[in-house]
Structures are given as structure tokens and as C-alpha cells.
Amino acid sequence: MDKQERVEAVNQIIQAIGDRGRGFFSDQNGNYARFVLVGDKRKFLHFLNADGSYVNPYDLRRDRHFKHGGTLWALVQDFKDFILTGSYTNGKHGYGGLFASGWGYPDNEMDEIIKLAREVGFLRQAATV
């Protein structure tokens, strides 16, 4: 999977998160946060909030323009690492990733998100508790 395919895979997960539960990464107008690659020869990864405002995903400290909380910032960092390296990164940034229990989403909806994340290649195996 190349970098653009990984961006598309992560954006599918972000939309699934926005369509369910508490609607993280989405707004009232039906817009979703997303990653985009920008540039001609050398492509740079950008993260856009649901309102289209730019957030620097390269800085590990939460960007002041990020519209969501720290747990979602850690997930964005995992997504960024996956897009850039192609390596499995779920939970690397210290919050438990998609397997964490603190999402506040119904179990069946989290199961759907996890299933999608496996299908698109972000997750490779079930969590071990």
C-alpha cells in the first residue's frame, strides 16, 4: 500500500468514527476531518479539521488549532505514523488506540470501527488484554 492509499484508508476510519457514537471528527454540516497529501514532487501530509482548518500533524504537541481532545490527538499521531511509514502504530502514542475503553461509543459501533480498521490495513490483530 502506498502513502496515498494509506491516507484514503485512514480517512475511511475517520469518517466511520464521525458517523457513529459521539461523532468525533465530524461537524453538524456533515463534514469530516481528514488527511491530505499536498505538493507535486515531495508530498507533505496535512491534517484538516472538519471545518477545513489546517493542523500541523508533525508536531507531537497538540496544535492549538486542533478541534478535538488529547485522546483524539494521540490517534491522529498514530494515523500520521501509519501513513508515513506503513507500520502498525495503534496505541503507540499512549492512550490505547482504537481498542481503548474510554471512547464512550457503544460496543457494537466500536466493533464496526475496529473491523473497518482491520479491513483497510490500519490494525493487524486484536488487542491483548
Mean pLDDT, range 1-19, rounded to an integer: 96
pLDDT at 128 over 70: no
pLDDT in the model for residue 63: 65
Mean pLDDT, range 55-74, rounded to an integer: 78
Four-point Cα dihedral 64, 18, 51, 123, nearest 10: 60
Tens-place pLDDT, residues 25-49: 999 999 999 999 998 888 899 999 9
pLDDT in the model for residue 68: 77
Cβ neighbours for 45, distance < 8 A, ≥ 6 positions apart: 7, 35, 36, 37, 38, 57, 58, 80, 83, 84
Instruction: Report the distance separating Cα 72 and Cα 95, nearest Å.
Output: 9
Most confident of 18-27, 37-46, 55-64: 18-27
Question: What secondary structure letter does DSSP report for 48?
Answer: E
The set of cell numbers assigned to 113 is 470501527
Under 8 Å between Cβ of 18 and 34:
no
Say if pTM beats, i.e. exceeds, 0.85.
yes
What is the H or E stretch that residue 38 is in? Answer: strand 34-38
Q: 54 - beta bridge partners?
A: 48
Instruction: Report the distance separating Cα 2 and Cα 94, nearest Å.
Output: 26
pLDDT in the model for residue 81: 93
pLDDT in the model for residue 129: 46
Mean pLDDT, range 91-106, rounded to an integer: 84
